[in-house]
Structure 1
Amino acid sequence: MPGAAEARGARVRHFLFLQGPLSPLYRRIGARLSEAGHRVTRVNFCAGDWLHWHGRECRFWRGRLADWPAEAARLMAEGAITDLVLHGDTRPYHRPAVLAAQARGIAVHVSELGLLRPGYMTLARGGLGVLSRLPDDPAAIRRAAARLGEPDLSPRYPGSFALEAWQDVAYHLPNVAGFPLHPFYRRHTPSHPFADYLAWALRLAGGRRRRNEAARVEAALLGSDGPLFLLPLQVEGDYQILAQSQFGTMRAALAHAIAAFRDGAPKEARLVVKAHPLDNGAVDWRAEIARHAGADGGRIAFLDGGSLAALFPRLAGLVTVNSTAGLDALRAGVPVATLTPALYDMAGLTHRGPLAEFWQAPRVPDPALLADFLKVVVASSQLRGSIHNRAGLDEAVETMSARLLDERVPDPDWHVEPPPRLARARAMGVPL
């Protein structure tokens, strides 16, 4: 029986799925694409992948990572692949596949958690972050926004920590047990699951003490005088740090920011280093701060908890590598400096000079340009839904399937080649 696409006389496409988020999302999207009459192939690399999606359309790759680029290229050529779908575009198995797809003119669709959480997922054509095709030219953003309506930015689908934790455990522990079946598999996470879960157990056990301490520190900071700058930490091992920054580790980025603060910030200014909400506590950030702060330790505070939004009205500025916290800060009217070209890093929104200038004279973002930027971001890559909420998952399946089935060429006003941030990032040492 012909599929829906064949029945309509539409082009039958062949979607190749690699690793997705820790969720049934990709399996359910694949089923929708198949129902629409298109071909779907999924490559599994480990037991966790298989548990999330197995069936006749799935195949295993058990070879060595060094051999994967050639295998990915073969799959695309022999399978007449038209579209590549993956979660994150710089994981060890994903980056070679993206390059192979681009060499053959295959459309690349990259998913990630939404930039405007909660309530959105990201599905971007071409790449994310430094590899994004979204313009970084204010004039182009304004031109594109002029044809768009106001986006709905209301929060939806609050996340469930219990669901998120269960999804993580249900994926990673089978990979440990199934190691003999895929001995060459290279995980994309930085630490062994047992080490990660032990760190989390210890962190959760001290949760009440940590929350009380964070409330005390936050209250003191809100009541303090002088300029207050914030550095929100990103998770060690995050590919925004590993692959999309020049630092390679968050510890190196922290050392860089502290050194710049000590050298250039006013003596009355303070720097707050805030732990990421999903930090497992394996890195002793207090010790890292003390190691680099030296005689200026009294000017640098560590906040392990508390509310990012509560700090915004008090901040003179926020410094980040490329975290979405920077976009949250811009939306709150806080001056932002990025250490590497983030998606939202553009003239008129972020500081575009050395940190020495930022500490002394932080400039607030242009609210009209920010409103236009948000319009274009939502239209180009943000879709309603969530993988950490059951109702949100249902909507994500609908919105992301519809976007993948839409064959219209991306609007040239919000999709430019080559990636406009890439040359600047490479000049800074970003390994892409």
Structure 2
Amino acid sequence: MDVREPKPRTVLLLQGPPSFFLRDLAGELEQLGHSVLRINLNLGDWLFWWRRGAVNYRGRLRDWRSYLTKFIAIHGVTDIVYYADRLPYHVIAGEVGREAGVAVTALEFGYLRPDWITLERDGMSAYSHFPNDPDEIRALARNMTPPQSGALYTYPHAKEAFCEVVYNLFAYFGRGLYPFYRADRLYNPVVEYISHLPRIFSTRRNRRHSHEVLKELVDAGRPFYFFPLQIDADYQLRANSPFKRQAEAVKVVIRSFATRAPKDTVLFFKQHPLDNAMTHWKSRIARLARRYGVSDRVRFVRAGDLREQLHNALGTVLINSTVGIHAMKAGCPIKTLGFAVYDMPGLTFQGPLDAFWTKAEKPDPELVQDLITVMANTIQVRGNFYSREGKQTGAKAAADRIARGAVNQPGAYVPTPPRLADAMRRGLQPADCFGRQLPQGGLAVAHEEVRP
């Protein structure tokens, strides 16, 4: 186990979640005796930092590599921490850091959310170093304490939404101060946020409709397969699946369902609760269902109780959403179409999608618990990015892991990302968030300027 001797570190923080979490993390690291530096890339970064120790990078993406290489050398950086590992700036930062012998840690919302934060060494999903061998998971879990079940902190969804809007609008309207910053967004943020208004005003109606559709299926005894949609802008889809957009996956699933699933079954789609509605999923799914002759066997809802939906589902098909872990807990068979840290024998169906409809088996409940135990002890910390107590607790735990070099420890770091080779065989084309292809292995980025 590679845990450091206690000695002063110099930690460079790059972009974080749209909250003050990184500011709290910096404070915790400083209390432990370590130095913290920060590079702001846009005005949103500046807004959610608002403390000493920051410099502003106003250069071009193509110059970011050379700038960061010099910055690390001049300041003696020992650690780099960032949120969202496939952001173009972070892809470059990860490679530069590893070449310089700097420890690289990626932050994200927790796999075991809502009460958890993910910390992984070097990368996530297809690029994760977390083990994918069930026997290794079982062996590690034997020496670990299972996490406490149940939520410890309230989660302020409204605050999350507010901070997300403020961050992206500041970044957008602050372009005069950071003229060469290249955002990773698929849509203009002003247009996108306006598009959310109809969903907000129709929340009650959407919930009622979802309940009615589910009740109709359950009361009629009609078995159904569940497909929880993700967000097109989600890194898990854009950088960790063989699809450029989610519509490709939807088409693949409906076509397979039409030809291979039992004729008495239904395919049940649910829109992501934060979807911006700029893709009209209801009409798009309806068109595909008509094309493949299954209009009477396809349902679509915009809301609903996830636990109730999973509990009643015959199986769940998804790209790589963390809904997969909730499905495991519910004992619901799972087929992943993308590349997920939890995709392994005994937990998810390993055969082709066409076979899933008739041959899927429930996840092994003991292996599910072992996976959760190992994750909680190695690549998750308890807390969240938004509630006061959750943020403070998470920042303290994350600072301790980072300072001790205990991310992915004890024992949950495989030197070569164990999913990457298979992901590339299955169609992954490593690219940054602008869709630009990366060199073999996906751990580098070309230097030319790119506009979203």
Interval containing the TM-score (normalised by the shorter chain): over 0.9
* Amino acid aligned to 1:404: I
Quote the offset at 1:408 in angstroms. 4.8
Pairs aligned (count): 424
* Amino acid aligned to 2:18: L
User: What does residue 436 of structure 2 align with?
Assistant: none
User: What does residue 108 of structure 2 align with?
Assistant: 112
Q: Could you report, residue by residue, the CA deviation over 1:45-101 in whole angstroms, capped at 9, with x for unpaired residues?
A: 111100111444111111122222222222223322211100110012111111111
SS in 2 for 1:115: coil
**Match for residue 384 of structure 1 among 382, 385, 390:** 382
* 1:229 paired to 2:225: yes
User: What does residue 243 of structure 2 align with?
Assistant: 247
User: What does residue 89 of structure 1 align with?
Assistant: 85
Would you say the 8 A contact 2:130–2:408 is kept in 1? no
Would you say the 8 A contact 2:329–2:368 is kept in 1? yes
Moved more, 333-342 or 125-134: 125-134
User: What does residue 172 of structure 1 align with?
Assistant: 168
**Match for residue 137 of structure 2 among 116, 136, 141:** 141
Q: 1: CA distance between counterparts of 2:272 and 2:152?
A: 22
TM-score w.r.t. structure 2 length? 0.90
Quote the offset at 1:409 in angstroms. 7.8
Q: Could you report, residue by residue, the CA deviation over 1:339-398 in whole angstroms, capped at 9, with x for unpaired residues?
A: 122111001111001111110121011111111111111111111111232221121122
Structure 2 residue runs without a partner (length 5+): 431-441, 443-452
* Amino acid aligned to 1:68: W
**Match for residue 276 of structure 1 among 272, 276, 297:** 272
User: What does residue 40 of structure 2 align with?
Assistant: 44
* Amino acid aligned to 1:108: V
Would you say the 8 A contact 1:118–1:156 is kept in 2? no
Quote the offset at 1:10 in angstroms. 4.5
Would you say the 8 A contact 1:140–1:413 is kept in 2? no
1:179-190 counterparts in 2 under 5 A? 179-190=175-186
Would you say the 8 A contact 2:378–2:410 is kept in 1? no
User: What does residue 438 of structure 2 align with?
Assistant: none
Q: Could you report, residue by residue, the CA deviation over 1:198-242 in whole angstroms, capped at 9, with x for unpaired residues?
A: 111122122233222222212212223343101100011101011
Moved more, 178-187 or 301-310: 178-187
SS in 2 for 1:217: helix
Q: Could you report, residue by residue, the CA deviation over 1:7-62 in whole angstroms, capped at 9, with x for unpaired residues?
A: xx952211111100111110121122223322211110111100111444111111
* Amino acid aligned to 1:417: P
Q: 2: CA distance between counterparts of 1:119 and 1:320?
A: 22
User: What does residue 337 of structure 2 align with?
Assistant: 339
* Amino acid aligned to 1:60: N
Moved more, 374-383 or 100-109: 100-109
* 1:65 paired to 2:61: yes
Moved more, 390-399 or 21-30: 390-399
Structure 1 residue runs without a partner (length 5+): 1-8
SS in 1 for 2:88: coil
Quote the offset at 1:412 in angstroms. 6.5
Q: 2: CA distance between counterparts of 1:409 and 1:243?
A: 23
Q: 2: CA distance between counterparts of 1:29 and 1:17?
A: 9
**Match for residue 422 of structure 1 among 408, 420, 423:** 420
Moved more, 184-193 or 405-414: 405-414
Would you say the 8 A contact 1:384–1:396 is kept in 2? yes
User: What does residue 400 of structure 1 align with?
Assistant: 398
Moved more, 152-161 or 311-320: 152-161
Would you say the 8 A contact 1:337–1:352 is kept in 2? yes
Q: 1: CA distance between counterparts of 2:407 and 2:158?
A: 39
Would you say the 8 A contact 1:222–1:311 is kept in 2? no
* Amino acid aligned to 1:414: A
**Match for residue 30 of structure 1 among 26, 33, 56:** 26
Q: Could you report, residue by residue, the CA deviation over 1:296-321 in whole angstroms, capped at 9, with x for unpaired residues?
A: 11111101111111122221110111
The higher relative CO (CA closer than 8 Å, separation ≥ 6) is in: 2
User: What does residue 324 of structure 1 align with?
Assistant: 322
Would you say the 8 A contact 2:217–2:223 is kept in 1? no
Q: 2: CA distance between counterparts of 1:412 and 1:160?
A: 32
Would you say the 8 A contact 1:385–1:393 is kept in 2? yes
Would you say the 8 A contact 2:41–2:57 is kept in 1? yes
User: What does residue 362 of structure 1 align with?
Assistant: 360
Would you say the 8 A contact 2:378–2:407 is kept in 1? no
**Match for residue 254 of structure 2 among 238, 254, 258:** 258
Would you say the 8 A contact 1:316–1:362 is kept in 2? no
Q: 1: CA distance between counterparts of 2:28 and 2:128?
A: 26
Cα gap change, 1:397 to 1:412, in 2 (>3 Å): closer
Would you say the 8 A contact 1:318–1:329 is kept in 2? yes
Cα gap change, 1:419 to 1:254, in 2 (>3 Å): same
SS in 2 for 1:181: coil
RMSD over equivalenced CA pairs, Å: 1.7
Cα gap change, 1:156 to 1:408, in 2 (>3 Å): closer
* Amino acid aligned to 2:185: T
**Match for residue 312 of structure 1 among 310, 314, 333:** 310
Would you say the 8 A contact 2:24–2:392 is kept in 1? no
* 1:303 paired to 2:333: no
Moved more, 188-197 or 401-410: 401-410
TM-score w.r.t. structure 1 length? 0.94
User: What does residue 3 of structure 1 align with?
Assistant: none
Give aligned-pair identity as a percent: 37
